Structure 1
Amino acid sequence: MSLQAYQKTAQRSEDPRQTEYRLFGQVTRALMEADQLDKSEVARRMDALDWNRRLWSVLGTDCALPGNGLPETLRAQIISLSIWVNRHTSSVMRGQEEIGPLIDVNRLIMQGLMPRQETPSASDAAFVGTVRASLG
């Protein structure tokens, strides 16, 4: 089976939560690699930072849409995280902050997206709230 055929099959069998988890994994891996690069590798670092910022921007924009099916509190928390990611990313790009906190937030979100045995509940909102509170 070709790689493209595999990817199409995987996409058809994934639910949105699995797709988000996989995307967060790819973006987080890129951030981790960028974090290990020498500061002189500006273009490669910026590419990873920009990819992460775009991911969070899409999430924030989607949560702002009236038709979004997530609970209002969770939507607001994701929008807040999106704003924080945007600001922190700008600080990283200016050399004022480190990439690590962006990686940490993505990992926490991935933990919340991991497949579970039980039905998803209101604990999702509590999880994002905990992440938000830890960011200060």
Structure 2
Amino acid sequence: MSLTAYQRARSIAETPRAMEHRLMSQITGEMIAAQDAGLERGALMPALHRNREVWNTFSSLCAASDNQLPVELRAGIISLALWVERYTGQVVRGQAPIADLISVNRAVIEGLAPENVAS
């Protein structure tokens, strides 16, 4: 099967939650690799930029009036997105470690894991 066919099949079969889990796992893996490589400040920007983009997207989706998630969860996600935005700036300036962003993402990944889906 070609890569394109595989990606198309996955996009059809994959739930939004599974897609979010996969995306957060990929981005977090990039941040871990950057951390393990000893990258600092601006050298972290490629991984940090992707992380910031996904959190901004989550925030925008949660702010939408037609979003069906519980209000408290939406507010929590928006708050986390705002924190990620501010904290990322601190990481780029060398004022904070990337490890805290990784920890937040890992907690989200754990919450999105298939075994944590309520029946």
**Aligned twin of 2:109:** 110
Deviations 1:103-134 (A, max 9, x none): 111111011101137635xxxxxxxxxxxxxx
Distance 2:35 2:17 in 1: 26
**Aligned twin of 1:127:** none
Name the TM-score, length of structure 1 as normaliser. 0.82
Q: Which amino acid aligns with 2:31?
A: L
RMSD in angstroms over aligned alpha carbons? 1.7
Distance 2:45 2:117 in 1: 39
**Aligned twin of 2:38:** 38
Distance 1:76 1:48 in 2: 25
CA positional deviation for 1:7: 1.1
CA positional deviation for 1:66: 0.6
Distance 1:58 1:16 in 2: 13
Distance 1:8 1:30 in 2: 24
Distance 2:80 2:41 in 1: 27
* Stretches (4+) displaced over 4 A: none
CA positional deviation for 1:27: 0.4
Unaligned residue ranges in structure 1 (runs of 5+)? 121-136
Unaligned residue ranges in structure 2 (runs of 5+)? none
Distance 1:117 1:34 in 2: 28
Mapping 1:1-136, distance limit 5 Å: 1-39=1-39, 42-43=42-43, 45-116=44-115, 119=118
Name the TM-score, length of structure 2 as normaliser. 0.93
Bigger relative CO (Cα 8 Å, ≥ 6 apart): 2
Distance 1:26 1:90 in 2: 21
Aligned length in residues = 119
